[in-house]
């Protein structure tokens, strides 16, 4: 491998807040670097799952500044996977401990494509970003921050969905397989193919493990030089191709004819897609989405409400971004030492072979 054009950054102490699946992937990748690692958790029970990484695990109380400050003492970088008020408390403690850089729990689409309004599934996001902006402007001890935007996790489409990977553990409207685009067991899909301008809806996606690898690789860029936002991705695809890829990978596993679970609305024949995917696809036009969002909330059908909102988010470009500036920075510095897993390879490995 060619040497990095930058000198090797000094060894750091890195704190990861939260002990779920994303934290685990970050710890797994960072444990391959020389940096010291501490995981902050509310429950000491998760200690065993981090044992293999040889890192410290500290039990914290997010309502106690002294507990958080003690855990963060001596850290250079905080990687947060914790949202809402607990994260705001963590930001306050990190500022007090003069942490150099804070990475908030914003592991989603590009910042420029957020709606700007509070996301019901992501409470406190705007507040956290605003607190970080303020902290970065402090005249005495500015604390820098970086958002890592990764698009959608591939794991939405794995058997069992996000909950199997211990992500969105308390969000029962999104952590199951079928929460987005495709219901894998019944091979039914609900998609909006074109956005308000009639253009193909596309999303950027990354596997959770690769998010960990990207962040670990970025450490060698030196956190002092990190940008405000780093975008990464394993792939970018149209939602139509996501369904087609899913169908192609899973096709051989179908034992029964497709069940019509979803009533086709505005269904249009697409022989190519059906030939590849043999999937029952419900197409929803962009112009109908707002009406469906409103009617599902009125009928208190929260499952459908979140599904339609996600379709609208996807169509509005929430998880799509053009260039991946982290990949570019890593490549330019000869630090792109891994190949992110492709979506079809991820599906094949997670759904397993047909038996």
Ligand X SMILES: NC(=O)c1ccc[n+]([C@@H]2O[C@H](COP(=O)([O-])OP(=O)(O)OC[C@H]3O[C@@H](n4cnc5c(N)ncnc54)[C@H](OP(=O)(O)O)[C@@H]3O)[C@@H](O)[C@H]2O)c1
Binding site for ligand X (CB under 6 A): 18-20, 22, 41-43, 46, 62, 81-83, 86, 105-108, 122, 150, 152-153, 156, 162, 166-171
Calculate the alpha carbon distances from 147 to 75, 89, 104, 318 in Å. Answer: 18, 18, 6, 15
Q: Which residues have C-beta within 8 Å of that of residue 355, sequence separation ≥ 6?
A: none
Q: Which tokens belong to 125?
A: 């996001």
Quote the least distance from Cβ 82 to ligand X, whole Å: 4
Answer whether 146's CB lies under 8 Å from 100's CB: no
- Residue 19 or 247: which CB sits closer to ligand X? 19
Answer whether 114's CB lies under 8 Å from 51's CB: no
Quote the least distance from Cβ 290 to ligand X, whole Å: 23
CA-based nearest residue to 157, from 138, 176, 136: 176
First to last CA, the chain: 41
Rounded to the nearest angstrom, the gap between the alpha carbon of residue 342 and the centroid of all alpha carbons in its chain is 16
- Residue 170 or 197: which CB sits closer to ligand X? 170
- Residue 83 or 95: which CB sits closer to ligand X? 83
CA-based nearest residue to 351, from 198, 80, 144, 164: 164
Q: Say how far apart CA 104 and CA 149 lie, in whole Å.
A: 11
Give 77's DSSP letter.
Answer: E
Quote the least distance from Cβ 334 to ligand X, whole Å: 28
Q: Which residues have C-beta within 8 Å of that of residue 283, sequence separation ≥ 6?
A: 191, 192, 193, 264, 265, 266, 267, 268
Quote the least distance from Cβ 147 to ligand X, whole Å: 10
Calculate the alpha carbon distances from 2 to 99, 256, 333, 337 in Å. Answer: 32, 52, 9, 10
Q: Say how far apart CA 72 and CA 90 lie, in whole Å.
A: 9
- Residue 166 or 190: which CB sits closer to ligand X? 166
Answer whether 106's CB lies under 8 Å from 33's CB: no
- Residue 37 or 167: which CB sits closer to ligand X? 167
Q: Which tokens belong to 74?
A: 């001596």
Quote the least distance from Cβ 352 to ligand X, whole Å: 22
Hey, is 220 helix, strand or coil?
A: helix
- Residue 174 or 277: which CB sits closer to ligand X? 174
Enclosing H/E stretch for 217? helix 208-218
Quote the least distance from Cβ 291 to ligand X, whole Å: 26
Quote the least distance from Cβ 131 to ligand X, whole Å: 15
- Residue 132 or 150: which CB sits closer to ligand X? 150
Quote the least distance from Cβ 166 to ligand X, whole Å: 6
Quote the least distance from Cβ 108 to ligand X, whole Å: 5
Q: Which tokens belong to 122?
A: 């992501």
- Residue 75 or 273: which CB sits closer to ligand X? 75
- Residue 15 or 22: which CB sits closer to ligand X? 22
């Amino acid at each position: 491998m060619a040497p990095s054009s930058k000198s090797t950054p000094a060894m750091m102490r890195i704190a990861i807040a939260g002990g779920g699946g994303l934290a685990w992937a970050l710890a797994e990748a960072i444990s391959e670097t020389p940096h010291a690692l501490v995981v902050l958790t509310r429950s000491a029970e998760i200690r065993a799952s981090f044992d293999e990484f040889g890192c410290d695990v500290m039990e914290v109380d997010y309502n106690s500044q002294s507990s958080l400050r003690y855990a963060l003492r001596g850290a250079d970088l905080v990687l947060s996977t914790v949202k809402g008020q607990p994260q705001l408390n963590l930001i306050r403690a990190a500022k007090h401990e003069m942490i150099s850089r804070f990475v908030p729990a914003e592991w989603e689409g590009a910042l420029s494509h957020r709606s700007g309004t509070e996301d019901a599934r992501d409470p406190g996001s705007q507040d956290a970003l605003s607190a970080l902006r303020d902290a970065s402007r402090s005249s005495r001890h500015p604390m820098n921050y970086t958002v890592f935007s990764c698009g959608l996790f591939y794991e939405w489409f794995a058997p069992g969905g996000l909950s199997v990977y211990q992500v969105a553990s308390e969000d029962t409207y999104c952590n199951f397989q079928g929460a987005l685009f495709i219901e894998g067991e019944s091979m039914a899909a609900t998609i909006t193919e074109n956005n308000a301008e009639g253009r193909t809806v596309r999303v950027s996606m990354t596997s959770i493990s690769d998010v960990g690898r990207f962040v670990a690789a970025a450490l060698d860029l030196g956190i002092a030089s990190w940008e405000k936002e780093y975008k990464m991705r394993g792939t970018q695809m149209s939602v139509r191709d996501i369904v087609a890829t899913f169908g192609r990978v899973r096709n051989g596993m179908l034992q029964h004819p497709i069940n019509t679970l979803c009533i086709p609305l505005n269904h249009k024949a697409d022989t190519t897609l059906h030939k590849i995917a043999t999937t029952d696809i419900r197409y929803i036009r962009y112009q109908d989405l707002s009406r469906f969002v409103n009617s599902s909330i009125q009928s208190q059908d929260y499952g459908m409400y979140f599904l339609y909102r996600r379709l609208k988010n996807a169509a509005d470009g929430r998880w799509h971004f053009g260039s991946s500036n982290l990949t570019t920075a890593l490549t330019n510095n000869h630090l792109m030492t891994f190949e992110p897993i492709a979506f079809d390879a991820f599906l094949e490995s997670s759904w397993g072979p047909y038996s």
